[in-house]
Amino acid sequence: MNFMKLNIALNSKILLAPRTGIGNYVAELAQALQQTPDIGMQYFNGLRWQDELVSEPMPDYSRWAGMAKRLPGAYVFRRMLEQRHFNQGARTLRPDVYHEPSLWPLNFNGPTVMTVHDLTHVHFPQTQPKDRLREIERRLPSALARVSRILVDSAFIGQEIKKHFGVPEQKVVVAPLASSAVFQPRVEQQLSVRLNNLGLAYRGFILSVGTLEPRKNLLLTLKAHARLPAPLRERFPLLVVGMPGWQAQELDGALAQAVSVGHVRLAGYLDQADLACVTAAAKIMVFPSLYEGFGLPVLEAMASGTPVIASDCASLPEVAGAAAAYVDPQDEDGLTEQMRRLLEDDKAWMGQRIAGLERSVQFSWRKCAAITADVYRQAANG
């Protein structure tokens, strides 16, 4: 069968940074789209156009990015530079559709699709650098108005966009995310080397995953864990995985105190292979985030056979359904009790493990790519 291929330009510059949420989205979606016969992909990495995805982050990206952000007008200057290189390639490659996977669509003389993962800047503006916040507030409303279609990770975010920006219903399409295939149940023998290197025991710790910033509500996790009976705290230390984010210094004191007591360990940033291992090895995963557009770590934990305790707000109940235990994100006592229940009640733990595995298979990157490809076709056809 002959297909008239659509030439899609995907902004993949996020892959230059250490891989986190949006980076995982771009990489997994692009790989799934490569299996779609009528879709051809070209990748723009912020400076150059490429036929293949970036496979490894740029060395010392965080240091260079941190230095650049401190320069006056850094966001505006970087934007101008990216637009110039984008235009040069677009004139030659002539993409049918441009897909921007974040809040920063470049100008393109053709159909544009953008993905909105969340509206953190609306609900938690204090968690954004001032220059970045100013640029988002200045550019996002006009971007939402001019793009052909808007992809969202959850119905929750779709409703938020319609409510806050008056975007028409028919313009917003929900394309749920999925976990990578590396997140799967594993037996102890598969994990022993990595766990030994990290000083961890199989099913012998509680996992917290997320960028170290106030929105992730790590303080509640620390306080709830500290309230567990001493034998449980000693048997199940808390492993905190994530790189520092904006205003991470607000957590420094609490983290330092918790670590000094000996029941909390900081792993920092882990690449996907190590993260998949600790996720499969944890007894439970705690994720009481104040606000999420999807909450990929929750799905990754369920796919790994690890029970999850999540906050009962934003998109998390939509993603986890009846497979997670839920708490009010302000309820310290409630979180402690849920942790204790899953640590002590083997039947409850196993029931939630099975429910999580069953829930996780309802999500796949193949489905996400199929919805996305259909959106490309709609955009190309006007």
Domain ranges across the chain: 6-178+364-380, 188-360
Q: Give tens-digit pLDDT for 104-160.
A: 899 999 999 999 999 988 988 877 778 778 888 888 999 999 999 999 999 999 999
pTM for this entry: 0.90
Query: Cα 46 to the chain's mean position, in Å?
Result: 20
Under CATH, which number does the domain 188-360 receive? 3.40.50.2000
Residue 63 has pLDDT above 60, yes or no: no
Band (pLDDT 50/70/90 cuts) for residue 57 is low
How crowded is residue 72: how many other Cβ atoms within 10 Å of its Cβ?
7
Tokens 């909450």, residue located: 295
Asked, colleague to colleague, whether 6-178+364-380 and 188-360 share their fold, the answer is yes
Strand partners, 173: 151
Q: What is the pLDDT of residues 249-284, one digit of tens each?
A: 556 666 777 777 778 998 988 989 999 999 999 999
Binning pLDDT at 50, 70 and 90, where does residue 9 land?
very high
Strand order of the sheet with strand 149-152?
Answer: 49-50, 39-44, 6-11, 97-100, 112-116, 149-152, 172-174
Q: Which residue has the tokens 């864990």?
A: 225
Decide if pLDDT at 72 tops 70. no
SS3 268: strand
Quickly name the fold that domain 6-178+364-380 has: Rossmann fold (3.40.50)
Distances (CA, A) of 15 to 32, 287, 371: 16, 25, 22
